[in-house]
Amino acid sequence: MWLYYTLLIIGLLIAWMVIDFKLGRSRFIRTRTRRNYENRYSDITLISRGADLFEKMFTDIKNAESSIHILFYIVQNDHLGNRFMDLLKDKAKEGVKVRLLMDQIGSLHVSKSKVHMLRSVGVEIAYCQRIKFPFPFFSSQQRNHRKITVIDGTYGYLGGYNVGKEYIDEHEKPELSPWRDYHLKIEGEGVPDLQTEFCIDWHRATGEDLTNDQLYFPPARKGSLEHRIFPTEGVNIEQFFGEFIEEAKDSIIIGTPYFIPTNYLMDKLLDALDRGVKLTIIVPNQADHPLVKEAAFPYFRPLLAKGAFVYQFMNGFYHGKVIVIDDHSCDIGTANFDQRSFFLNLELNNLIYDKHFIEIVRKEIDEDIKNSDRLNARDLESVSLFTRCKEKVASAITILL
């Protein structure tokens, strides 16, 4: 009898989670705001090492004169996180307006004492994407995955790195180090769009509207690279990536830590291969979460059968999020090529239309490929029964991986 009741309770719990998730996402889609920014011209620097990123970012924070607005998915309670927060404390003491927005679950390890200390010296701190009723399960799954830094309304940062020692190649698991990722420093017309995105997320978390305060939106100079900031919130990105893929005439490069496309995007990739486009995919060999590696295998098999090149990065952990179409367009940001980014998370990408910048990106990608092993169809034909079982389980929960 106890087994019957146990199974009944488990069944009811699963049913509640499914209903909670579907209703919660439906309400969010109805109430979300869709934003389309125009093409801008900025000067953009690609940063592919965590140590270089934080050296540049921390220098800009130290030199801030009026405001510092920062949103991160993850801030760790370690020596890099403490150094980061100490910088914010020092700038607040100088009279700079400092606001720090963190994802509630991603930054769960930031101590209450640290938050209290920062607030006591004037740093404004808020948490976004809190778990809340009436849909606690859905709200626990939908994360703000954006990483935005805007300093004095003039310098902006966007990309894949969070704040923690693992992002400067000090991961506790040696197999996940060094950490390979991409981040962008932006100066020019695109910075006000980054600032707007921060202000929107800040308003959602606090109710405070900063979008009309000119202190945070100084005149922006025109830079040299054409680009566009592209925010997504549980929709839009699947269709956009599909249109992006359709444009390809010669080559498509996708770098992602998690390759879990939708049927729609798989059809677009297979169509591209059929019309002679070279498809290259880079993923990590070592996974940082259970099942995500096996989740990709059912998608790799038909792509490999049509001639796609799949590379597994061997030199640490590959966390880059990049798509390059031919030599004319490139996407770098926070969205992974997976269903969580497509249908759940709040993401922020940057589309760049500059051949010289794309040449720089492709040189970085060439280095990634040199540090990778090529996966072939035979490798996936001979996987173990245990791996096949993990593939099946992953396929059942792809949106949650």
Q: Catalytic residue numbers?
A: 145, 147, 152, 319, 321, 326
Who's near 22: CB < 8 A, 6+ residues apart? none
CA 244/CA 252 separation, integer angstroms:
9
Distance from C-alpha of 318 to C-alpha of 302, rounded to nearest angstrom:
23
What are the E-state strand segments in 140-245?
148-151, 155-159, 179-180, 183-188, 225-233
Q: How far apart are CA 53 and CA 42, in angstroms?
A: 18
Strand partners, 124: 99
Residue type, 82: N
The answer to whether 141 and 341 have CB atoms below 8 angstroms apart is: no
Q: How far apart are CA 342 and CA 21, in angstroms?
A: 15
Question: Rounded distance, CA 323 to CA 256, Å?
Answer: 9
DSSP string covering 296-323, please? HHHHHHHHHHTT-EEEEE-SSEE---EE
Q: 226 pairs with which residues across the strands?
A: 41
Kindly give, in sequence order, each residue whose CB lies less than 8 Å from that of residue 195, ignoring residues fewer than 6 positions away.
69, 150, 153, 156, 216, 217
User: Alpha-carbon torsion 110, 114, 120, 123, what sign?
Assistant: negative
